[in-house]
């Protein structure tokens, strides 16, 4: 197991929220696997897995077959590799449904969000447990942030139906669900600089994130 991955797996399914990190993208614009890019002395994959593990008590990675098998994480094989993040989300919900854990909720985050914090993820999960929605999603200045959201396990069928109808945009599929939207009055306390939902798609994004992180450490 790599030195930067030290995750305690939860086997008793006692926590109410299942945790997932999606890492199914091809990273074409990034030029290499961005999940394995280093950030703060850890790979992004390890960083996000540790956060989700701490917030929910468990973590599994949704990824294509054979990817990350040597990285000390539990893999759920993406049922629709290279079909975009919606397929990864549906894969995660179906995995919870099939596991027999009876967990009603799933925290699902993308592997390329280096500025997520444990405090925010814990708050998101806590808020979710009192919601009657099918997805609890933050909204930033850029719109809904569905790659850092909590999804009800029972929403799998509706999302799968949208996917089967060739819907690929996550926010489009979400229109079929009851949504609870958390605006900045909820997340701003965890992110005064407006970086919480920053994701990385290009080498330039990565370098910008590294500069921002290093500035914050000085």
How far is the C-alpha of 89 from the C-alpha of 24, rounded, in Å? 10
pTM of the complete model: 0.88
**Superfamily (CATH) of domain 17-217:** Spore Coat Polysaccharide Biosynthesis Protein SpsA; Chain A (3.90.550.10)
Q: Could you report the per-residue pLDDT of 111-150, keeping only the tens digit for each?
A: 989 999 999 999 999 999 999 999 999 999 999 999 999 9
In this model, does residue 5 exceed pLDDT 50? no
pLDDT surpassing 90 at residue 71: no
In angstroms, the CA 127 to CA 110 distance is 20
pLDDT of res. 199: 82
Q: Which residues of 100-137 are buried (b: 16+ CB within 10 A; e: fewer)?
A: ebebebbbbbbbbbbbbeeebbbbbbeebeebebbbbb
Percent of the chain's residues with pLDDT above 70: 88
Distance CA 173, CA 152 (A): 14
């Amino acid at each position: 197991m790599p030195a930067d991955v030290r995750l305690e797996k939860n086997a008793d399914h006692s926590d109410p929220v299942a945790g997932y990190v999606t890492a199914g993208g091809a990273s074409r614009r990034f030029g290499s696997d961005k999940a394995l890019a280093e950030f703060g002395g850890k790979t992004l994959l390890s960083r996000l897995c540790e956060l989700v593990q701490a917030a929910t008590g468990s973590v599994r990675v949704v990824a294509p077959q054979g990817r990350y098998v040597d990285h000390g994480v539990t893999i759920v094989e993406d049922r629709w590799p290279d079909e975009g993040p919606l397929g990864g989300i549906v894969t995660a919900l179906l995995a919870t449904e099939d596991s027999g854990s009876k967990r009603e909720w799933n925290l699902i985050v993308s592997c390329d969000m280096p500025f997520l914090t444990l405090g925010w993820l814990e708050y998101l999960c806590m808020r979710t447990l009192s919601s009657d929605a099918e997805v609890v999603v933050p909204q930033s200045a850029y719109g809904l942030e569905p790659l850092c959201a909590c999804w009800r396990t029972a929403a799998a069928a509706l999302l799968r139906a949208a996917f089967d109808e060739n819907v690929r945009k996550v926010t489009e599929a979400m229109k079929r669900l009851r949504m609870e939207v958390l605006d900045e009055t909820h997340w701003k306390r965890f992110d005064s600089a407006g970086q919480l939902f920053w994701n990385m798609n290009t080498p330039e994004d990565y370098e910008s994130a590294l500069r921002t992180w290093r500035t914050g450490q000085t």
